[in-house]
Amino acid sequence: MLQQTTVAAVKSYFQTFTKRWPTVADLAGAPDEAVMGAWAGLGYYARARNLLACARVVTLQHNGRFPETAEELRALPGIGDYTSAAIAAIAFDEPAAVVDGNIERVTTRLHAIETPLPAARKAIRAFVDAMTPSLRPGDFAQAMMDLGATICTPRRPACVLCPVSAGCRARMEGRPEEFPRKLAKKAKPARIGAAFVARRASDGAVWLRRRPSTGILGGMSEPPSTDWSSRMDGGTGRDAAPFAAGWRLAGSVAHGFTHFDLVLEVWTAEIDADPATEGWWATPASLVDEALPTLMRKAVAVAESTAPATKERSR
């Protein structure tokens, strides 16, 4: 959960998640939609899909016990070089080279590595591998992470407090903030699309469908939207609707993804019969438990803000 997310954002999710599924076997047996619903709002939803897939592999192929080496851990779904090394070092005392963003920063400053990221990562890993002790490698990894998080910070590092400053080339050269080197970021493309929020006239329920299991927001719920992606725009306008209805434009929502920015038109309509398309009705009471990502909750909120009062509300 902490990958690419802050501790403050994760705490309540973690407590709820682990109370609901306290063991890896419990998680392995959970329905996909329940896990995605519990993850909704955290973002980077591939993490949830990989976590669930990983739990199932560990339960079915490893008798519920995680492998104890970085090499074996890397074979599990969603576990790459950093996570496998961190688990192996911290949980199983293997002297694996753990490299996260904090450790990258500390290492590039220690050795004044001029090569920009990401090309510098091979050299960084080699330096960390050479520094990692065979005794208490997990403590070493966590100490390096804490050093980067609290002292060797991106801006105004506290070099006078640093326990390794005597051997730091960047400090000796008076330029610690120049590291790590990074290439100039490319401007993110701006994409457009449309979401269609159909409401049932009798009770205000919203028609939802499941997104494909792979790709952006994979496996999450949504009011039907057009085929937007990081590489192309989706359809817009009333003619892009998935089924005929009295669609009217309610507004728009903007959302930033890692590699692109998106603006969705939000169209809304009230209908009485089930539309001739795959999906289900989510009542206002059940909507909170749906696996709706933040983007789609924004879209539903825009549609709701322009909707007439339902019979349920009027009572």
CATH superfamily of 7-178: Hypothetical protein; domain 2 (1.10.340.30)
Cα dihedral 243, 249, 251, 252, rounded to 10, equals: 40
Does the model's pTM come out above 0.85? no
Helix (H, G, I), strand (E, B) or coil at 169: helix
Nearest alpha-carbon partner for 144 in 160, 171, 125: 125
As a whole number of angstroms, the longest Cα–Cα distance in the chain is: 74
What parts of the chain have a pLDDT lower than 50?
310-315
> Using alpha carbons only, how large is the chain's radius of gyration in Å?
24
- Structural domain spans, the chain: 7-178, 190-314
Contact in structure between 303 and 205 (CB atoms under 8 Å):
no
Q: Is the dihedral of CA 150, 179, 89, 39 positive or negative?
A: positive
- Structure confidence at residue 313 (pLDDT): 41
pLDDT tens column, 29-83: 999 999 999 998 888 888 999 999 999 999 999 999 999 999 999 999 999 999 9
pLDDT value of residue 50: 94
What is the CATH T-level fold of the domain 190-314, as seen in this structure? Nucleoside Triphosphate Pyrophosphohydrolase (3.90.79)
The owner of tokens 């090394």 is 85
The burial class, CB within 10 Å (0-12 / 13-18 / 19+), for 251 is middle
What pLDDT does residue 314 have? 38
Distances (CA, A) of 168 to 89, 180, 258: 25, 13, 33
